Structure 1
Amino acid sequence: MRLPPLPAISAGLLAAFVGFASSFSVVLQGLVGVGATQEQAASGILALSVAMGVCGILVTLRTKMPISIAWSTPGAALLAGAGVPHGGFAAAIGAFILAAALVTLSGLVKPIGRAMSAIPVSLANAMLAGILLPLCLAPVKAVAAMPLAGLAIVAVWFLVGRWSRVLAVPAAAVATVLLILATHPAPMDQASAMPAPVFVAPDWSLATMIGIGLPLFLITMASQNIPGLAVLKVNGFSPEPGPLFTVTGVFSLLCAPFGGHAVNLAAITAAICAGDEAGPDRARRWWAGVVSGLAYIAFGLAAGWVTVFAGQAPVLVQAMAGLALIGAFTNALSGTIAKAQDREAAILCFVTTASGTAFLGISAPFWGLAVGGIALFAARIRK
């Protein structure tokens, strides 16, 4: 058996490091935001990391394509701003299961997949931008609360970003870790144990399933799965979408009771595994998908340390999460105003979502999409 090519190994390790380091803080804030305890958040990160790793390895070996699986960073951003639902974290688990079931059905039932593709891109981007805006303000708040530490993190992110955008957020993550070690040393006896899976029985709250479950499904499909397929296609790989949606939905279902909100196709890190960084031989780039899957599993085993450590200085962790989402916010905002004919409806969707106001117990992203959809429908009828 031929040894895996070195470029594919390095690309897989880089993709896993960038994917985990650049967004674990967002995922952590998301789980805590909907009521998870520290132990439940650690269990969720463990479940997601193992699901990402195992799912990525299986689909890569099955297709012999460098298919990267990731957690839903935009979905975690949704959770971070949603607030603790009525029924607590158990109600959020019910919403996770609903979103996972809908993703699975998208792969099994073609009309659902086609309906997803019919959602106007401007509204999907507007909803995502509205979710991300409050989170992207965290670095500003961190600078106000802890000027020296906050400015140091922002400076590292900015300066490294002038050289390499891919490494900007991981560099900021390293700076955050060093600053927390210097100012809030974590007790290693509390942080070194491997996290234990924590099972949470779901609470089927209709308001939470509508307010969190449906937006989580829409964001996961529009901001992760569909762009992930596009990245693969640009690099010369064209897997069948249906089976990929189904398998990621199934793995999301498996990890949801343990606190995992969603796994899906990677978008940004997919370009590392599928692109030239993984070697000149396109036929052997699939090794990058296997290596990144193994690395994700290893990172997941350190989730207990990550959650305890991050809890020492939540303001700095939130700042890093905000910096990690700047690129996604920029892209979403650009997509919001890209089409002049959809601009007014998209802005209404954006401001409604960004308001964070819940009605009838249902969170703002659902109402943002509803308001934008009505406005867009009315505009097209008028024409």
Structure 2
Amino acid sequence: MTPRQDPIDTEAATAALPAPQPLLERPGARPAGPRRFLRDVAPPYLSNGAIGLVFTASGPIAVTLAVGAAGGLTQEQLASWVFGILFSGGAATLAMSLLYRQPLGFAWSIPGTVLLGPSLQHLSFPEVVGTFFTAGLLILALGATGVIRRIMAMIPMPIVMAMVAAVFLRFGTDIVSSTQANPAVAAPMVGAFLLLTAVPALGKFLPPVLGTLLAGCLAVAASGQFVAGMPGPLLAAPVFTPPEFTWASQLELVVPLALTVLFVQNGQGIAVLRTAGHRPPVNVFAMVSGAFSMLNACFGAVSACVTGPTNALLTSSGVKERQYTAAVTYGCLALACAALAPTLTRLMLSTPREFVLVLGGIAMLRALQQAFVTAFSTTFTMGALATFVVTISGLDLFNIHAAFWGLVIGYAVSRLLEPAHHAKL
């Protein structure tokens, strides 16, 4: 006879199995309503949200305009692109941050924008717009399978943060180079940050990064370096560019755009948020990025994504449970700026380049410090070093950003040289 199975043992064995994770990560707390938001919001979070918007709507906008102008886009197409990326970033940030009560900041893919530069020299803009639609659909489909979360779970956090450190390093070095190039603007900003950080009583009254912004504005005005551009339209007038789907454009751009969003951009954002103590919904991130990428394509704009630098700014200070209010502030400001996209673009491009670089660099210092500490202080340090070196080298294979290859090569090196560390996972 077959021995009777003990039901208690069966229940114990079933209980010991890990519970399967749902495809769509559920919020860990009730969504934030107006009363909760008003109770949690405070000047430091408003400051972080505003700084995040200033950072996003300055240097990255300049990159977008430069790539688009070099590709022969019209003024109307450029304005529509800027409207699309600000609108989708603000809407996605607002909805996700209130739903999950976490600072979940969305923007657009700067590496994706940069890789479009060469393509716009030999592809028509409708062909490029066609790749935006297809890449968004691919990102959404991969997120729906759940494979992105499994891949991200395989890569140790020190290796991911080494990639983040390499990407963020430029923000730190920009402070030094900008101070040398334009001391009249940069030196007061650095001095204000050091003073407000060194004297906690002053820093409590005026957050250091906000003080840096105010000092920079005063320095720009006093030095006469604000140069107003040519007048133009006040409000955005988005236009729809009918897409064209050709094999040449699809094979050239779709996969690089999708990988850049899922592993370079979203990977940075996920790592930054986890380091700040949050639990970002990886699969939902991918699906929302894909959906809003297709929305962006309607305006002739590049793919949407979670962004590392913006989330680093949104989580740079304050209590973890209240940092979502910084993201809500950022989202509301982004929606307002989307409507005023032409005006905002002219305003930001009228300020000295060093003002934007120093402001962004100072705001990113804490995130850069934490990235290095996480990457090199415990285990997987050889894999982290390989990731850092490859990422900072600018390696470009198959039109895919170096940060992706940094993760791939760093993980491979770690598996080869640090098997004992992986055995403990």
Q: TM-score range by the shorter chain?
A: 0.7 to 0.9
1-side partners of 2:79 and 2:93: how far apart?
21
Letter in 1 for 2:386: L
Deviation of the 1:184 alpha carbon: 2.5
Would the aligned equivalents of 1:191 and 1:304 in 2 still touch at CA under 8 Å?
yes
Q: CA offset at residue 294 of structure 1?
A: 3.4
| CA RMSD, Structure 1 to Structure 2 (Å) | 4.3
Q: Does the aligned pair in 1 maintain the 2:162–2:372 contact within 8 Å?
A: yes
- What is residue 139 of structure 1 aligned with on the other side? 175
Aligned-pair CA distance for 1:382: 9.2
Q: How does 1:1-383 map to 2 (within 5 A)?
A: 4=35, 6-8=38-40, 13-14=46-47, 16-32=49-65, 34=67, 43-59=80-96, 63=99, 65-72=100-107, 76=110, 78=111, 84-87=117-120, 100-101=136-137, 103-162=139-198, 163=200, 164=203, 167-181=207-221, 182-187=223-228, 190=231, 193-197=234-238, 204=249, 206=251, 213-225=258-270, 228=273, 242-243=283-284, 245-256=286-297, 257-264=299-306, 267=311, 269=314, 277=322, 293-312=331-350, 313-340=352-379, 342-359=380-397, 361-380=399-418
Q: Which moved more, 1:298-307 or 1:202-211?
A: 202-211
Letter in 1 for 2:176: V
Verify the 8 A CA contact 2:386 2:410 in the aligned structure 1: yes
Pairwise CA distance, 1:233 = 5.6
After superposition, the C-alpha distances for 1:57-104 in whole angstroms (9 at most, x for unaligned) are 44567x4x535442358x54x569879444369698788667655553
Q: 1:253 to 1:157 in 2, by over 3 A?
A: farther
How many angstroms does 1:151 deviate by? 1.0
- Secondary structure (helix, strand or coil) at the match of 1:204 reads helix
SS at match of 2:227: coil
1:306-356 CA-partner distances (Å, limit 9, x unpaired)? 32233232233223232233233222222221333x212221221221122
- Structure 1 residues 374 and 59, CA gap change in structure 2 (3 angstroms): closer
- Residue 282 of structure 1 corresponds to none
Higher relative contact order structure (alpha carbons within 8 Å, sequence separation ≥ 6): 1
**Cα 1:377–1:33, aligned 2, differ >3 Å: closer, same or farther?**
farther
List alignment gaps of at least 5 residues for structure 1.
Answer: 279-285
Name the CA distance, whole Å, in 1 between partners of 2:41 and 2:103: 13
> Aligned partner of 2:290: which letter?
G
Q: Any idea what SS the aligned residue of 1:137 has?
A: helix
Q: 1:50/1:15 Cα in 2 relative to 1: closer, same or farther (>3 Å)?
A: farther
Cα distance, 1:210–1:195 mapped onto 2, change above 3 Å: same
**Do the aligned partners of 1:57 and 1:290 also contact (CA within 8 Å) in 2?**
yes
Q: 1:9 to 1:129 in 2, by over 3 A?
A: closer
Corresponding residue number in structure 2 for 1:283: none
Specify the structure having the higher radius of gyration (Cα). 2
**Which structure has the highest helix share of the two?**
1
* Amino acid paired to 1:214: L
Cα pair distance change 1:66/1:377, threshold 3 Å:
closer
Native 8 Å contact 1:56 1:293 kept in 2: yes
Distance 1:326 1:84, change over 3 A: farther
Distance in 1 separating the partners of 2:250 and 2:209: 36
User: Structure 2 length as normaliser, TM-score?
Assistant: 0.67
CA distance in structure 2 between the aligned counterparts of 1:246 and 1:273, rounded to whole angstroms: 29
Task: Work out whether residues 82 and 356 of structure 1, in 8 Å CA contact, stay in contact via their aligned partners in 2.
Answer: no
**Do the aligned residues in 2 keep the contact of 1:85 with 1:208 (CA within 8 Å)?**
no
Q: Secondary structure at 2:249's aligned position in 1?
A: coil
Contact 1:81–1:135 (CA under 8 A) maintained in structure 2: no
CA contact (8 A) 2:93 2:106 kept: no
Instruction: Give the 3-state SS of the residue equivalent to 2:306 in structure 1.
Output: strand
Q: Give 1:303's aligned amino acid.
A: A
Paired residue type of 2:158? S
Q: How many residues align?
A: 366
Which deviates further from its counterpart, 362-371 or 148-157?
362-371
Classify 1:296/1:363 alpha carbon distance in 2 versus 1 (closer, same or farther; 3 Å).
closer
Q: How big is each residue's C-alpha offset from its partner over 1:117-143, in whole Å with a ceiling of 9 and x where there is no partner?
A: 212222222222222223421121111
Query: Letter of the aligned partner of 1:217 in structure 2?
Result: L
Contact 1:68 1:292 in 2 (8 A): no
Paired amino acid for 1:215? T
Determine the C-alpha separation between the residues in 2 that align with 1:275 and 1:150: 31
Per-residue CA deviation, residues 211-261 of structure 1 (Å, 9 max, x unaligned), is 664233213333324654786868xxxx97644542343123312554354
Match for 1:297: what amino acid? L
Pair 1:324–1:48, CA change in 2 (3 A): farther
The alpha-carbon deviation at position 113 of structure 1 amounts to 1.9
Q: Which amino acid aligns with 1:17?
A: A
